[in-house]
Amino acid sequence: MAIHTPDWVKHAVFYQIFPDRFARSPRLRHPAGIHFKAWGSPPEEQGFQGGDLLGVVDRLDYLRDLGVTALYLTPIFTAAANHRYHTYDYYEVDPLLGGNTALRELLDQAHARDMRVVLDGAFNHASRGFWAFHHILENGANSPYLDWFIIHGWPLRPYSSDAEHPPNYACWWGLPALPKFNIYNAGVRDYLLDVARYWITFGSDGWRLDVPTEIDDDSFWQAFRQVVKTVNPEAYVCGEIWYPAQRWLLGDQFDAVMNYPFSRAALGFCGGHTLRRYKPGNYELKPLSARGFARQIDLLQAQYDWEVNQAQLNLLDSHDTARALWIMGEDKSALRLCVLCQMTMPGAPCIYYGDEIGMSAAQDPSCRAAFPWHDERQWDLDLLAFYRRAIALRQRYPTLRTGTFQPLYARVGVYAFARILDRQWAVVILNAQATAVTVQLEMPELSREGQVFEGVWNSGRYVVSRQALQRVTVPARDALVLVSDAA
């Protein structure tokens, strides 16, 4: 099967937004009696701080100036949790976020700025409040929706999670608030596929799929893809899978996955000196040498079709992990090097909201703090300028987005690779060491004697001689990006 992934994703820079904590708009008027926690309250207190979709609209120009071209929103449908993975109405955007009309405005305003918007779909499980499960709670075995879920006994225990009295129905990770759908029920399948179709028809540009491996049924995801791609062939289908995902990336299910193996490799190499002992997704982060990093990148590039590699969602952190800066022990030089790696590797880079201004925190719920819009004293403006410059680098050179990938060098804390697209070449050299280094790079056979490379990230001018770039100097804890347009 010939694999095709959406072309726009290969050129995108994503920005992940946790809607309750990104921005609150004064334009959204809630009914009397609605009260939120104060903006900026400690996220460990849980609760709702009142971010909404109009707040995202109000900040689109900030995101455009940053260089963002696509948004990934964690769930926005009606739910009884601030993260909204406890969905109880899949056809309604939560009124606390502004409802369907706010999403309509966000889509229209984002599209007017050539930005895409990808929604988060939690289809493995619903919530206690989901209408069909509520019907079972009220009617017991007399409910006609009984087979929509997997019931093990009566009476149901919807609020019990202790070891002696666990929930007596299938639920996600044993949490009674998250009853698991019976995906083999035809009504459930039709319902979920219609939800998938509805929001793509509404105008969203794709789905990020929550825990899709727990729906262990290829035929369901094949049907899901067919439904989505029939409405919009260029819609993005991206699964949350933390490990190698060949089964789902053969062209008949997902376009890509959240590339957590990339994040573990990048964090291990760029942040090795200050890396905290931490296990995102139960995968222990380990410091990596240049050669160890090279092995990981080679494996990632070999696992999937090139179409898939170009569409992978290359993230450093997310709402499910500690923030990247915290993971790397508050070492901003490590974060900057990671971002340069993100912006020059194959795949679509994804920035977790607030990373660009230096937000740092341990894992959930700490990583879900409110964006400090009203206090720029909390912003690292130098880091923000760095992000803008790094994103602009990727956007300026097409070869950094869709050029072929060829590793060149991996030794003593230095990793280098080439990206080649038609007549445009880029050579990227990442230096994880605390001192500047000078290396000799053997060039691919396609290079020619006398070919000139100019520095576009850090200065330098180098000429291919005897099929190598001689004495290339890379600053400490930084990168050198060289471009040649006359191969």
Residues carrying an active site annotation: 210, 240
Please answer whether residues 340 and 5 qualify as being in contact, where contact means their C-beta atoms are separated by less than 8 angstroms. no
The token duo for 376 is 């720029």
| Dihedral class, residue 218 (left if φ above 0, else alpha if ψ from -120 to 50, else beta) | alpha
User: In this structure, what DSSP letter does residue 296 have?
Assistant: H
Q: Which residue is associated with the tokens 């939690």?
A: 122
- Cβ pair 110, 54 in contact under 8 A: no
List phi, psi (to 5°) of 306: -60, -35
Q: Which residues contact 471 (CB under 8 A, 6 or more apart)?
A: 438, 440
Query: DSSP secondary structure string, 58-78?
Result: HTHHHHHHHT--EEEEPP-EE
Hey, what are 9's tokens? Answer: 């994703």
Determine contact, residues 195/223, Cβ cutoff 8 Å: no
Q: Are 67 and 343 in contact (CB under 8 A)?
A: no
Helices (H), 15-73: 19-22, 53-58, 60-66
